[in-house]
Chains A and B, each alone.
Chain A
Amino acid sequence: MILIGELSLWVALLMATWGTTVGFAGGYYKRPELIASAERASYATFGFLLLAALGLWTALLHSDFSFRYVASYTSANLPSIYKVTAFWAGQSGSLLLWAFILSAYSAIAVWTNRTRNRELMPYVTATLSAITLFFVMTLCFGSNPYERLDWIPPDGSGLNPQLQNPGMAIHPPNLYLGYIGTAIPFAFAIAALVTRRLDAGWLAAVRRWTLISWFFNTTGIILGMWWAYVELGWGGYWAWDPVENASFLPWLVNTAFLHSIMVQEKRGMLRKWNVTLVVSAFLLSILGTFITRSGIISSVHSFAQSNVGYWFLGFLVLAIALTAYLVGTRLNDLEAKAELESLVSREASFLFNNLLLVGIAFAVLWGTLFPILSEAVTNNKITVGPPFFNKVNVPLGLALLALTGIGPLIAWRRASAENLKRQFTGPLLTGITAGAALFALGMRDFGALVAYTLCGFVSGTIIQEFWKGVGARRRMYGENAFMALVRLVARNRRRYGGYIVHVGIVILFAAFAGLAFKEEFDVTLKGGETYEAVDPYGNKWRFVSQGVSRYDELNRQTTAVLLDSYRNGKKVGVIKTEKRQYTDSRGVPTFQPATEVGIMEGIREDVYVVLAGVIGEDTAEMRITFNPLVWWVWYGGLIMAIGGLIVMWPQAERRRAQAGYSTVLQPAEQEA
């Protein structure tokens, strides 16, 4: 199987080359047999990359240390589940995962469009094959997971302890599914630009793929935040690390596109903008991969430096040049078919929502790359850390939150004063009441007060929308409230699924604002000693150390401290925090000691304990943190994902059409 996998990688290289060549040739010369061949090559590439992936998994599971990759990222005593996940722990394995997922996506896109979008498909197939070809070339010539060692070591180096976490089993594949999902809309955009078929057809094809990409990007980011929180031990879930930023950029641009596509569907506007967003999302995915793999910027997530960075830089430059040329030469075909009638309209609010999303993306990209620019200009190294990103992005994020509430309430085309009054009175009162209540309860942090007021306002808009919809159904059909709610969502999944995503956003913002009240304490305790602290809610906590214990586990030596925890005099549990020294099968240490955070989770706050060090036999140095509302980050993310699934669910288009939401372009535009 391993040999088959190794050979399959090279055959996939040939298949992708063939698919690229005959795809473009078939499209250009309009030769059906070439087009069909390119599509078959797409399926074949997927098949061979699947074999290549299975081969690597086999090598990992059999601990075949003759392969450099297996020896570098696993050891004989590594639990099997982490041997499986070691597939994406290193540079070449994760590149193979990229290529494999891309080929799977390509095969699905070709299959689902075998009777649709036939004018576009030759170029879609060829573009996807070209991207796959780039990744397979990088694998074969730049970073081959099947590279063999000159000698076979008795054991491998083991897997980085920070990657031995369930979050790392699912976070990277999710993120890759999101990143790579941007390639399909990109391919459709290239095909539409090449063929000049820039009507609504290509947009309909890419909308669902963008949603798929957005969904996986969202879940990938949230899972990554959870992993950082429980594994890295610094007490937070988002550090504005360059690689975190790189994953955030396509999400922002995809989110902007999912809003602006509605404006093009409804009003025929923002055509150039939409093409630019689709293309940018893919390019930012490649940029993110370049940042992770080039070593150009220091990051906790970086892979070991290698020459793969040059490959990505070259690909990025080529892709930017190609798309800039195509967009530049097709500007006339992208003219809007309608114009904005009023700045007080839903399309205008979506426009400003897009500006903010892209503005945040620019700010994040700018902050991420600024150290390079500054060093090049001033020869002075600087750090752009969380204080910068928070100061710049918090006001933009709050403005975006406000627009999340404003957008859905304003009418298309032109809102009347009566419409504004009717729609905004309730939500505004809700927001103001929430803010005033929190102020009366003693909250004085300005940023948090603004955030919670806006959360109240947006919640008010969402509740109002559901209330009106459910009420209408109850009047029309005599349904009970629950059935009316279920059918309301089921009959218009796109709209109400979107509102559920907004619910998730509100919860996330509320949880982020909770960080303003975080409390941290440095604690040094001997066995039997007590530390008392007051949390942000005014509860009195008492922590009693049970002392330091040391013991061996399967592939590690553990140093642990147990803390009996009391809230307002009542015992609420025991928190265990650990330091782990991982070893190989011979008991030789493999990595620096790793933190295992002790977390007592709660709806109101987490108690987060990190063992920072041990003095002598029985004295532990710890950091105890009260982290308010962190629990809501995970559930806000979950709700966003559920909302995304509802929006994506098949048949949504038909239902939407029945509900009168779906629109088609006029014949004049279709002919354009």
Chain B
Amino acid sequence: MSDNALITRRRFFAATAAGAGVLIAARLAHAQEGEGQQEPPNTGASNTVMESDKFKSVTLPPKGPAVMDQAKRDELEHHIHCQCGCNLDVYTCRTTDFSCQVSPAMHRDVMALVAGGYSAPEIIAAFKNVYGDRVLMAPPSSGFDLAAWITPFVALSAGIALVLVVLRRLRGPALAPAIAPVVADATPAEQARLDALVRNDDQ
């Protein structure tokens, strides 16, 4: 790349690093806005207080008989993120946390929707409409969030491709050995026996 290019590799990396730094600093500043308010430490599932901004009712009019059994309903609840502040899904939180009031309330909504004849994708969509994407346990595979799914594989593929390209370019005739055995403090006879011992499985 020429020095006159508008974006050199160095500038690109510098700009990327600066951007990432600004993003993290902004997020950090946002995260620490509440500092000084003596918030209790986040202890996960126990950190549960019913607040209006955490639980929002998800209701739809019944449309028919239930199409899901309890096992499928439980499986569905593994895909819905409890909004109490923990990192658990609704099923795990409501069956683990003695004091959480959010996951039982979300569970009641799930049960009402199941009884109303809604399928798992419809129930997920209903929760998404009310809470947004944060109610899913994994990022949606659309829009910008698709990057979450594909980037690791793209990066790994790029790494493998890069290694293969570099190796193809670099591979030449076999070089002289870059290494030589050390002089071990063993007698020649012992060394010969040890060499014979390892020769077969350390080629």
> Of residues B46, B167, B193, which shows the largest number of chain A Cβ atoms within 10 Å of its Cβ?
B46
Nearest neighbor of A413 in chain B, beta-carbon distance = B174
CB of B2 closer than 8 Å to a CB of A: no
Contact partners of B43 in chain A: CB under 8 A:
160, 162, 300, 591-592
Interchain nearest-CB distance for B172 vs A (Å): 6
Whether the Cβ atoms of B180 and A476 lie closer than 8 Å is no
Contact partners of B86 in chain A: CB under 8 A:
300
Separation of A411 and B200 alpha carbons in the complex (Å): 10
CB of A662 closer than 8 Å to a CB of B: yes
Q: Chain A 391-405 against B: per-residue CB contact (8 Å), 1 yes, 0 no?
A: 110001000000000
B179 CB contact (under 8 Å) in A351, A372, A665: A665
Whether the Cβ atoms of A305 and B98 lie closer than 8 Å is no
Contact partners of B25 in chain A: CB under 8 A:
313
Nearest neighbor of B174 in chain A, beta-carbon distance = A341
CB of A177 closer than 8 Å to a CB of B: no
Separation of A664 and B184 alpha carbons in the complex (Å): 11
Contact partners of B180 in chain A: CB under 8 A:
663-664, 666
Contact partners of B134 in chain A: CB under 8 A:
380-383
* Residues A511-558 near B (CB distance < 8 A): 520, 522
Interchain nearest-CB distance for A430 vs B (Å): 17
Interchain nearest-CB distance for B58 vs A (Å): 17
Separation of A11 and B144 alpha carbons in the complex (Å): 51
Separation of A221 and B197 alpha carbons in the complex (Å): 37
Whether the Cβ atoms of A232 and B31 lie closer than 8 Å is no
Whether the Cβ atoms of A304 and B178 lie closer than 8 Å is no
Nearest neighbor of B156 in chain A, beta-carbon distance = A359
Whether the Cβ atoms of B132 and A367 lie closer than 8 Å is no
Separation of A118 and B34 alpha carbons in the complex (Å): 49
Whether the Cβ atoms of B92 and A296 lie closer than 8 Å is no
Contact partners of B145 in chain A: CB under 8 A:
374, 378, 382
Whether the Cβ atoms of B181 and A579 lie closer than 8 Å is no
> Of residues A352, A391, A476, A658, which shows the largest number of chain B Cβ atoms within 10 Å of its Cβ?
A658
A332-340, A500-508, A638-646: which lies at the interface: A332-340
B99 CB contact (under 8 Å) in A296, A592, A611, A654: A592
Whether the Cβ atoms of A338 and B148 lie closer than 8 Å is no
Interchain nearest-CB distance for B51 vs A (Å): 15
Interchain nearest-CB distance for A593 vs B (Å): 4
CB of A267 closer than 8 Å to a CB of B: yes
Contact partners of B26 in chain A: CB under 8 A:
376
Separation of A320 and B16 alpha carbons in the complex (Å): 14
Interchain nearest-CB distance for B155 vs A (Å): 6
Whether the Cβ atoms of A234 and B92 lie closer than 8 Å is yes
Separation of A359 and B148 alpha carbons in the complex (Å): 14
A31-39, A101-109, A467-475: which lies at the interface: A467-475
Contact status of A592 and B175, CB under 8 A, knowing A241-B87, A374-B144: no
Whether the Cβ atoms of A374 and B156 lie closer than 8 Å is no
> Of residues A241, A363, A382, A662, which shows the largest number of chain B Cβ atoms within 10 Å of its Cβ?
A382
Contact partners of B193 in chain A: CB under 8 A:
476
Whether the Cβ atoms of B95 and A359 lie closer than 8 Å is no
Nearest neighbor of B86 in chain A, beta-carbon distance = A300
A623 CB contact (under 8 Å) in B44, B95, B137, B172: B95
A294 CB contact (under 8 Å) in B32, B42, B144, B191: B32
Separation of A520 and B191 alpha carbons in the complex (Å): 59
Interchain nearest-CB distance for B202 vs A (Å): 7
Whether the Cβ atoms of A468 and B200 lie closer than 8 Å is yes
Whether the Cβ atoms of A234 and B163 lie closer than 8 Å is no
Separation of A472 and B197 alpha carbons in the complex (Å): 6
Whether the Cβ atoms of B95 and A659 lie closer than 8 Å is no
Whether the Cβ atoms of B151 and A366 lie closer than 8 Å is yes
Whether the Cβ atoms of A658 and B185 lie closer than 8 Å is yes
Contact partners of A305 in chain B: CB under 8 A:
31-32, 34-35, 39
B152 CB contact (under 8 Å) in A234, A307, A392, A522: A392
Contact partners of A392 in chain B: CB under 8 A:
149, 152-153
Contact partners of B62 in chain A: CB under 8 A:
none
Nearest neighbor of B135 in chain A, beta-carbon distance = A383
A374 CB contact (under 8 Å) in B81, B148, B160: B148
Separation of A341 and B174 alpha carbons in the complex (Å): 6
CB of B5 closer than 8 Å to a CB of A: no
* Residues B125-166 near A (CB distance < 8 A): 132-140, 143-145, 147-149, 151-153, 155-156, 159-160, 163
Contact partners of B195 in chain A: CB under 8 A:
660
A610 CB contact (under 8 Å) in B47, B91, B95: B95
CB of B88 closer than 8 Å to a CB of A: yes
CB of A266 closer than 8 Å to a CB of B: yes
CB of A166 closer than 8 Å to a CB of B: no
Q: Chain A 113-126 against B: per-residue CB contact (8 Å), 1 yes, 0 no?
A: 00000000000000
CB of B203 closer than 8 Å to a CB of A: yes
Contact partners of B160 in chain A: CB under 8 A:
352, 355
Q: Chain B 91-132 against A: per-residue CB contact (8 Å), 1 yes, 0 no?
A: 111111111000000000000000000000000000000001
CB of A377 closer than 8 Å to a CB of B: yes
For the complex with contacts A654-B185, A657-B184, 4 further pairs of A-B residues with Cβ separation under 8 Å are A234-B88, A300-B43, A356-B156, A362-B152
Which 3 residue pairs across A and B have the least CB separation, nearest first? A300-B44, A363-B152, A623-B95
A residues with a Cβ closer than 8 A to B are 160, 162, 232-235, 239, 241, 265-268, 294-296, 298-300, 302-307, 309-310, 313, 317, 320, 337-341, 343, 348, 351-352, 355-356, 358-359, 362-363, 366-367, 370, 372-378, 380-388, 391-392, 396, 411-413, 419, 465, 468-469, 472-473, 476, 491-492, 495, 520, 522, 579, 591-595, 610-613, 621, 623, 654, 657-666, 669
Give 26 pairs: A residue, B residue, CB < 8 Å, sorted on A.
A162-B43, A233-B96, A234-B92, A296-B31, A299-B42, A302-B41, A306-B35, A307-B35, A356-B156, A372-B23, A374-B144, A382-B134, A385-B81, A385-B87, A385-B138, A387-B138, A388-B139, A391-B138, A469-B197, A591-B43, A593-B46, A595-B96, A595-B97, A612-B97, A658-B185, A665-B178
B residues with a Cβ closer than 8 A to A are 17, 21, 23-28, 31-32, 34-35, 39-48, 70, 74, 79, 81, 85-89, 91-99, 132-140, 143-145, 147-149, 151-153, 155-156, 159-160, 163, 167, 170-172, 174-175, 177-182, 184-186, 190-191, 193-198, 200-203
